[in-house]
Amino acid sequence: AVDERNEASHAAAAGKGKGLSILVAEDNEINALLARALLVRLGHRPTIAGNGEAAVESWAAAHAAGTPYDLVLMDVQMPVMDGFEATARIREKERDTGRHLPIVAMTAHAMKGDRESCLSAGMYAYVAKPIRAQHVFEAIKDVKEEIREEMDLEVNARTVAGALRSEGHEAWPHAFGKD
C-alpha cells in the first residue's frame, strides 16, 4: 500500500503558483506515482493517500491547518475505506465548513451506470482508468472554471448586497424574496 506522501510540504506550498493543491487517493503504487508525476508536470501540488481513511485524515488535517485542498482525485476501490465511503465522510464533515470540495472519481470500472453511481455518491466528475493525461487535464480545467465561477458569484453577491445596503436596504435577502 502507498503511504501518504507529500510532493512538498502541503502547508508551505499552499498559495504558491497557479497550480492546484490536489489530494490523490490511490492504493496502487504505480498509479499513485503516475498520477503524482502527471500532476507535477501540469504544475500542481499533489499529496498521495494510500486509502480512503488516509484521504479523509489528510483532508481534515489540511482543512484544520488552513490549507484546504482544491481538488481530490479519488480511487473508488481501495482497502481500509473505499472511495465512496471516503467521499461520504468528507461530505459529512464539510457541511460545517460551507465549502464543497470537488472530488473526481478514478476507477477502472467504466461500465454503464458507474459514472452515475459516482456522481450520486457526491463526486464531481468521473475519470476512467487507466489514467489518461487528457482526461485528468479536462477534469482539472472544469474544476478551475467552477472555482472561478463560484468566486465570481461570491463577488457579485457582495457587490449587489453593498449596492442594496447603500440604497437603504438593511436586510438585502428580502429584496430577493429570501426570508
Angle, helices 83-94/52-64, rounded to nearest 10 degrees:
20
Question: Residue 11 has what pLDDT?
Answer: 34
Burial call 79-88: b when 16+ CB within 10 Å, e when fewer: eebbbbebbb
Question: Residue 3 has what pLDDT?
Answer: 42
Task: Please list the pLDDT of the chain residue by residue as tens digits (179 residues).
Answer: 444 444 443 333 444 457 889 999 999 999 899 889 989 998 999 999 999 999 999 999 999 999 999 999 998 888 899 988 999 999 998 887 778 889 888 887 666 666 777 777 777 777 777 777 777 778 777 777 776 666 555 555 556 555 556 666 554 454 444 44
